[in-house]
Amino acid sequence: MKKILYTLIFSAFVCQFTKAQKVPIQDDFAHTYSIVAFDEKTGEMAVGVQSHWFAVGKVVPWVKAGVGVVATQSFVNIDYGVKGLELLEKGARPITAFEEVRNKDEGEAFRQVAIMNNLGEVFAFTGQQCIAEASHFAGKHFSVQANMMANDKVVPAMAKAYQTNMDLPLAERVLVTLKAAQDAGGDIRGMQSAALVVVDGKIEKGQHQAVKKIDLRVDDAAYPLAELERLLQVHRAYEFMNEADVALEKKNFTKALGLYQKAEKLQPNNIEIQFWKALAMMQSSDKEKGIRGMKKIISQHSNWQHLLYRLVQVDVVNLSQEDLDALER
């Protein structure tokens, strides 16, 4: 009840404030901290964000593989995301793309924006009337920005965290940066939602630009960054699963087994992973161990046995009747 009352009071205040200032708000009030980043080793681009606002991931991050990424926040104008990416795709540099949108924006003083192209060139802007504490830091191949923070230590903490964790994969580096922001004080209102999106900076012929390598959102949670971290670990596990499935399709059972085992290390209690690992093991030199593992899985729910039979019927796996009978013993 207190949270609802607070939201209503805050929204009423914002509406009266923005009417007085004649600010043309075009979307949610995403007061928040975020990062845009480019990994020169992999060519990946990312946006990470956290806010005490519902579903921040639907409004702040804008991405397009092979083109660039944008974070638009504070009193949001989504044109910086939509038109900004369009301009980047036509060859405009980030600062040029920003200026073209800004020239048509009557509420520029309330905006906070970071724009990056697929070369890692970045431009960031914090309007003079963004709510304190508000600032940004644009470094080599990244930018961190925040508004309505608890203190002025948040942005420096983000920049330091990003620059001192260059050995991590880009997604994990972005997450560490977001956690550093929270540890430094974060959003003065607290936490509610978060998002992490990663795309390729370069796309191969035939690859669709809409494809996102990582697309994770936590729309409403007491500890959204903890949930985002959990989801990223699940995502990494299923990256191994996807590779393993391809190996299984090609009947490379040894490779598939190794990949399923890597996935299981990340998600040891995931029965889906256990099933496919046992299935690959049943077709390896460790068949008996695979059968024991499969029997344990089937004992939890008979549907896994039905699925196994279906896979045999369409020749996804090669199991003999003797192997199937062993599951009944």
Task: Say whether both 245 and 157 belong to one domain.
Answer: no
| Tally of structural domains, the chain | 2
Task: Say whether both 248 and 213 belong to one domain.
Answer: no
Number of C-beta neighbours around residue 265 at 10 A: 10
**d(C-alpha 309, C-alpha 29), whole Å:** 52
Check residue 11 and give its pLDDT: 44
Beta pairing class for 122-126 and 111-117: antiparallel
Q: What is the DSSP letter of 221?
A: -
Domain end call among 158, 192, 220:
220
Check residue 116 and give its pLDDT: 98
Instruction: Please state whether 267 falls in left (phi above 0), alpha (psi between -120 and 50) or beta.
Output: beta
Task: Say whether both 202 and 243 belong to one domain.
Answer: no
Task: Say whether both 201 and 240 belong to one domain.
Answer: no
- Averaged in consecutive runs of 10 residues, what is the pLDDT profile of the chain (329 residues)? 44 43 54 96 97 95 97 96 97 98 95 98 97 97 97 98 98 98 96 97 77 95 98 98 92 92 96 95 89 94 93 85 86
Tell me if 236 sits within 8 A of 86, measured CB to CB. no
HSE, CB side, 13 Å, CA atoms: give it for residue 81.
21
Task: Say whether both 190 and 256 belong to one domain.
Answer: no
Task: Say whether both 39 and 172 belong to one domain.
Answer: yes
Task: Say whether both 136 and 255 belong to one domain.
Answer: no
**1 domain-assigned:** no
Would you call 328 exposed, middle or buried from its count of C-beta atoms within 10 A (0-12, 13-18, 19+)? exposed
Task: Say whether both 30 and 97 belong to one domain.
Answer: yes
Tell me if 284 sits within 8 A of 293, measured CB to CB. no
**116 domain-assigned:** yes
Check residue 4 and give its pLDDT: 45
Task: Say whether both 112 and 150 belong to one domain.
Answer: yes
**3-state SS class at 208:** coil
Tell me if 294 sits within 8 A of 309, measured CB to CB. no
Check residue 329 and give its pLDDT: 80
Check residue 211 and give its pLDDT: 81
C-alpha distances in Å from residue 38, one per residue of 13, 41, 182, 197: 37, 9, 22, 12
The per-residue b/e assignment along 45-82, b for 16 or more CB within 10 angstroms, e otherwise, is bbbbbbbbbebbbebbbbbbbbbbbbbbbbbbbbbbbe
Domain span holding position 302: 236-326
Check residue 21 and give its pLDDT: 47
Tell me if 111 sits within 8 A of 77, measured CB to CB. yes
**d(C-alpha 320, C-alpha 317), whole Å:** 10
Task: Say whether both 284 and 184 belong to one domain.
Answer: no
Tell me if 132 sits within 8 A of 15, measured CB to CB. no
Check residue 27 and give its pLDDT: 52
Domain end call among 170, 195, 220:
220
**3-state SS class at 201:** coil
Task: Say whether both 173 and 247 belong to one domain.
Answer: no
Task: Say whether both 123 and 174 belong to one domain.
Answer: yes
